[in-house]
Structures are given as structure tokens and as C-alpha cells.
Amino acid sequence: MTPDDAVRQALCTHMGREFAAHFQYLAMSAWLAGEGLPETSGFFGGQASEEHVHAMKFLQFIVDTGGPVEIPAVDAPAAAFASAEALVGSALAQEEQITRWIEDLVHLARDHRDLATEAFLQWFIREQVEEVATMTELLQVVRHAGPSLLLVEDYVTRWKPTRAR
């Protein structure tokens, strides 16, 4: 049941991307905390935790299907942002890129007739729809709030992201 080497290598590479997203969201959370936005910082801290869980799902799947696991190095995340809008825009772009990578993995699994990997990836396809919708909604709120980030902070305090509906 072990995925062939090309699929396994692609899964390991993507696991590294999920770890990189984890670190990027941690850096975003820290920047927002430094801007005095504890609720929005907490939201991004939660996003970091989710990305860590995603990476661990990849790790466990690779182990469960016979491994070996190769954890790639990740680049340091961006630590400073020109504005909250730039930060959320970057988060949205990150989620859109992750979506494209997941779709590429699905196509690779299909090309290699790897049904187990394709089935595993279906959860991530659904998850990415939610992730992109959440960041799109938050970016709209930030844009509507304009320079008053306290409005964003208030919104995040009461917000039920798209996935919770």
C-alpha cells in the first residue's frame, strides 16, 4: 500500500508546506499581538494550530502507508507587514496557493492510480474551501474597516467564521 516514491516525495514536500504555513501564521499572530490586537492575534494563532494539525495528518498518513517520512526544511516566515490588510491578503494568497498544491497532489495520485492517497486528500480539498472562504471574508472586513483596526478586533471577537456556519 506504500505510495510510489514520486507520490510519497510529493506528500513529504507538502507536509513541509503545511509546517511553513504554521510558522507563517505564528508570525502573523505575533505581529498582530504587537499591534495591540489580541483577538485577531488569537484567531491567527488558531490558524497556526490548524496548519500544524494538517502537517501532522500528512506525516501520519506517510507513516501509515509505509513511509519513510522526510521532513523538509522551511524558510523563515515574513515577520513584518505594512498593514493588517497586507497581512490578511498574504494569508489569503497562502491559502489559495495551498489549495493549488493540494489539487496538484490529487492529480498526481490519480496519475499514479493511488486511491488511498486520493481518498486521504479529499478531506483537504474540503478544508481548503473553508480556509479560502474564511480569509476572503476576513479580508473584506479589514477593507471595510479602513484604518480603524479596532472595528476588526470587535468583529473577530464576535465572528463565527464561514466554516462554523
Domain positions in the chain are 5-164
149 pLDDT band (50/70/90 cuts)?
A: confident
Q: How far apart are CA 19 and CA 22, in angstroms?
A: 5
Quick: pLDDT tens for 74-88. 999 999 999 999 999
39-68: average pLDDT: 96
Q: How far apart are CA 45 and CA 55, in angstroms?
A: 16
Lowest mean pLDDT among 15-19, 67-71, 99-103, 118-122: 67-71
User: Mean pLDDT for the chain?
Assistant: 93
Q: What is the pLDDT of residue 99?
A: 98
Whether residue 164 has pLDDT greater than 50: no
Q: What is the pLDDT of residue 77?
A: 97
pTM above 0.75, yes or no: yes
Q: How far apart are CA 59 and CA 15, in angstroms?
A: 7
Q: How far apart are CA 73 and CA 71, in angstroms?
A: 7
Whether residue 27 has pLDDT greater than 60: yes
What are the b/e assignments for 37-76, b being 16+ CB within 10 Å? Answer: beebbebbbebbebbbebbebbbebbeebeeeeeeeebee
132-148: average pLDDT: 92
Q: What is the pLDDT of residue 162?
A: 55
150 pLDDT band (50/70/90 cuts)?
A: confident
Quick check: 119 and 17 in contact, CB under 8 A? no
Q: Return the residue matching grid coordinates 490558524.
A: 47
Whether domain 5-164 has CATH 1.20.1260.10: yes
